[in-house]
Amino acid sequence: MGKILILGGSGLVGKALINEFKHGYDVYGTYSTKFITNLPEDRQFQLEVQDISKMIEIISSIQPDSVISCIRGEFDQQLKFHKELAEVLRNMKSKLYFFSTTNVFDGDFSKPHTETDLTIAESDYGNFKIECENILKDILDERVKIIRIPAIWGVDSPRWNSMKESIKKNNVIDVYSNLECNNLSDVQLGIQLRYIMEHNLKGIFHFCSVDTMTQSQFYEQLFNSMGAEMNLLKNNTYQDSSNTYYFALKSTRDDIPDSHQTTNREIISYLIG
């Protein structure tokens, strides 16, 4: 049974990964302010992203085989945290799985982007993630696996809960009718990560639905499935243009089977239950 340490275990991604790995693995997690509800108390540690010495102490104590980072915090603090994390792991046999984002491509909306595309970002968030990816690769080389993800949905996710609350209060939700996106469920994310870990796959991974929809189409299908009033959706055009834009990932890897892939329609079905 391998030891897994999930940095940021109390968030949406972290909790989904704990649910996936707690059967068959020795799982530990860290949290910032809220306890991790799906992990025993003796397997979790309070950790702020600025507390480098405590991070080093936790890793030295656990000696994990794999470290998964989905920790959040100020960008400058995260950069320092991940650089020090990589330096600690450099002298260990541990592998690092780092969660990145579609935003590393938010400087180019002309197409969905694959794992081999050069990153190009305009946002501070996208540029921070690019810098973090590069630091980790420079220090750990093939022992770091970069996992880029789009919008993550779960049955108790902030995004899903916010949408349901807006419907309940008859609040208008703004969506783009010309922005093609893909999505992913928290459960499917855990399934895909477990596969790449257990098959020792290397490199960069794009975890995402295999298809894209415009943001408005995705919400319209959710509203239809819920029986919600369509007039609560306000369609806008991204960049005030009639052109089609893509804020989407695409995977060209052939080492993850079709059985581990998902579609937008399956994500909607999962949310509706």
What's the CATH code of the domain at 240?
Answer: 3.90.25
Check residue 34 and give its pLDDT: 86
Q: What is the mean pLDDT of residues 8-32?
A: 95
Instruction: Based on the fold, state whether residues 142 and 168 are members of the same structural domain.
Output: no
User: Which tens digit of pLDDT belongs to each residue from 193-211?
Assistant: 999 999 999 999 999 999 9
The total number of structural domains that make up the chain:
2
User: Which tens digit of pLDDT belongs to each residue from 22-35?
Assistant: 999 999 999 998 89
User: Which tens digit of pLDDT belongs to each residue from 140-174?
Assistant: 999 999 999 999 999 999 999 999 999 999 999 99
Q: Tokens standing for 209?
A: 């639905």
Residue 1 has pLDDT above 90, yes or no: no
Residues 62/43, Cβ–Cβ less than 8 Å: no
Q: pTM for this structure?
A: 0.96
Ramachandran angles phi, psi of 52, nearest 5°: -65, -45
Instruction: Based on the fold, state whether residues 57 and 104 are members of the same structural domain.
Output: yes
Q: Tokens standing for 20?
A: 């996936």
Q: What is the mean pLDDT of residues 34-51?
A: 93
Instruction: Based on the fold, state whether residues 222 and 259 are members of the same structural domain.
Output: yes
Radius of gyration, alpha carbons of the chain: 19
- Provide the pLDDT confidence category of residue 55 given band limits of 50, 70 and 90: very high
Residue 243 domain boundaries: 158-182+211-272
Query: CA geometry: angle at 215 spanning 103 and 118, to 5°?
Result: 25
Residues 192/260, Cβ–Cβ less than 8 Å: yes
Q: Tokens standing for 233?
A: 């959706």
Instruction: Based on the fold, state whether residues 10 and 103 are members of the same structural domain.
Output: yes
Instruction: Based on the fold, state whether residues 199 and 110 are members of the same structural domain.
Output: yes
Q: What is the mean pLDDT of residues 99-116?
A: 98
Instruction: Based on the fold, state whether residues 146 and 176 are members of the same structural domain.
Output: no
Instruction: Based on the fold, state whether residues 173 and 200 are members of the same structural domain.
Output: no
Instruction: Based on the fold, state whether residues 112 and 246 are members of the same structural domain.
Output: no
Instruction: Based on the fold, state whether residues 38 and 133 are members of the same structural domain.
Output: yes
Residues 160/153, Cβ–Cβ less than 8 Å: yes
Instruction: Based on the fold, state whether residues 37 and 99 are members of the same structural domain.
Output: yes
Instruction: Based on the fold, state whether residues 21 and 136 are members of the same structural domain.
Output: yes
Residue 178 has pLDDT above 80, yes or no: yes
Point out which residues pair with 101 in neighbouring strands. Answer: 149
Instruction: Based on the fold, state whether residues 176 and 144 are members of the same structural domain.
Output: no
Q: What is the mean pLDDT of residues 73-95?
A: 96
Residues 104/48, Cβ–Cβ less than 8 Å: no
Q: What is the CATH number of the domain that holds 19?
A: 3.40.50.720
What proportion of the chain, given as a percentage, has pLDDT over 70?
100
Q: For the stretch 232-256, what's the b/e string if a residue is b when 16 or more beta carbons lie within 10 angstroms of its beta carbon?
A: bbeeeebeeeeeebbbbbbbeeeeb
- Report the phi/psi class of residue 73: left, alpha or beta, with left for phi > 0 and alpha for psi in -120 to 50: left
